[in-house]
Structure 1
């Protein structure tokens, strides 16, 4: 007798009670595999080294220029435009620019090279609390000869290049959080060594302030030189007045840059030596691996019951 389509569907339909019955019959397999994964998860979690996170909170330093320039623009704007002198447009935001510079490839690679951080970032796998020393990967970096020995495929070289270092550092070590509503910036550095994390957090803030200060001084000197040359080439009294005041403004900008140690960012909450680890979350790792083991075990039991046994 030929079965109808409805009968075929009912025949092949798997009821919930049958699934639960299959799981109950294979309960010892599920328990055993879950226990194996649980034990393995403990060893995996313990093998992952601790990481520490140092943070420094910053407040952007407000721009102090603009007042004299606004007065000049309102008083001599038309005359300056006729003479081809630009008295300025939109107000510059040096802190926003500094944020972009601080996360740029050129700045970060220069920072890493200056403090010789490449081996400490790219070749470490842990930190020894007792001796306060970094643990290096023996197949990556030779600490005795200070030489890169890692085995990589072409076009990579044993020593990481600037792009590789930049991508690794921004993905694993550096985090910049900007709170625009509060006007605050937090720089976080993560590393195996809490001491190195704090040093890098302190140094990167100092370096971005020094970098932006140097750029501002150089820019002011270039403008002063140009304005002095333009002053020597004009005989119009009003234009001379404009040039004198613009030169004075640039001299003030240069002086402010030279005298401000915290030129772009003011430290609100300095970095401290982190004592508590930031990671890894070992409890979550163990729970996740154990749960995965239980799912795989249940999948195996159901597959064996509904597929292999029926065949």
Structure 2
């Protein structure tokens, strides 16, 4: 039997009235449950330790080698290609590569190992303002004996591995934000201790510059060795000129790398000790949990009325 439009509207009004009536009859359950969630959310939010974020604003250092290679390519590109030498000459992507390296497992693991930050990052649960001491989780790390005591299943070990460390750092501590319009990069470190956050963000900038500098010098040495060997094997004057200029360019790369402390990124706005907390957002936590409690209470009241009530009637 097909219902008319008037019957459908009437049926909908009846259903809505019944829903509102069920909610009204269960108002005490909804109210008490919401209050319990609200009070619990306040205690929960207050139990969470503060976190602090230190940031540094960086500008990529311009590469002065691109022009030399472009000139060589335009003048001797064909001859070099015939000799099997790639002059390149494209735009340097040094800063973009450095950003990827900074967020890689290899770099982060080496950074943490060098500065012995694994317990600081993976085992702390707070920071004491008065004594400026980290609070370590007693179930995770024995600070007195410097020993990991986590209870984990095989094949995992009490001490966190590379993958676990990387996921924790990239999700909880490190944030790299690139502003492509302005050509600037913001690096941020978050931790329970503002002193640790500031120290880490400063050190990570130093380490990425040092890492890229070391890589550039090593690569330049390999290229110089190859170019010198190839130069000794050729008697073509134009090719010899190319090799001499390429060797000179690689020597210049080494010189710049050895003399520039800020090889890839130049600090525009250095990190300061963060005084204001970055988290947790206690107000949002309280609102969210209170709202969740109200929704669950309404759902329970409607379930009791429409499901359990119908079973009783049957």
Displacement after TM superposition at 1:89 (Å): 4.6
**290-299 or 171-180, larger mean C-alpha shift:** 290-299
Q: What is aligned with 1:68?
A: 68
Aligned equivalents of 1:294, 1:170: Cα separation in 2: 34
Name the SS for the 2:150 alignment partner. coil
What TM-score results when the alignment is normalised by the length of structure 2? 0.92
8 Å CA contact 2:54–2:271 kept in 1: the answer is: yes
Displacement after TM superposition at 1:130 (Å): 1.1
Aligned equivalents of 2:240, 2:53: Cα separation in 1: 55
Aligned equivalents of 1:50, 1:240: Cα separation in 2: 64
CA RMSD of aligned residues (A): 2.1
Write the deviation string for residues 84-116 of structure 1: whole angstroms up to 9, x where unpaired. 222225232100111111111101111010000
Q: What is aligned with 1:157?
A: 157
> Structure 2, unaligned stretches of length 5 or more?
none
Describe the shift of the 1:51–1:241 C-alpha distance in structure 2 as closer, same or farther (beyond 3 A): same
> Structure 1, unaligned stretches of length 5 or more?
none
The answer to whether residue 295 in structure 2 is matched with residue 292 in structure 1 is no
Q: What is aligned with 1:109?
A: 109
Name the SS for the 2:185 alignment partner. strand
The answer to whether residue 34 in structure 2 is matched with residue 34 in structure 1 is yes
Describe the shift of the 1:26–1:66 C-alpha distance in structure 2 as closer, same or farther (beyond 3 A): closer
Name the SS for the 1:171 alignment partner. helix
8 Å CA contact 2:70–2:90 kept in 1: the answer is: no
Name the SS for the 1:138 alignment partner. coil
Write the deviation string for residues 123-150 of structure 1: whole angstroms up to 9, x where unpaired. 1111111111111110111111101110
Aligned equivalents of 1:66, 1:122: Cα separation in 2: 42
Q: What is aligned with 1:305?
A: 305
Q: How does 1:213-252 map to 2 (within 5 A)?
A: 213-252=213-252
8 Å CA contact 2:60–2:264 kept in 1: the answer is: yes
Name the SS for the 1:15 alignment partner. helix
8 Å CA contact 2:69–2:89 kept in 1: the answer is: no
Count of matched residue pairs: 308
**73-82 or 244-253, larger mean C-alpha shift:** 73-82
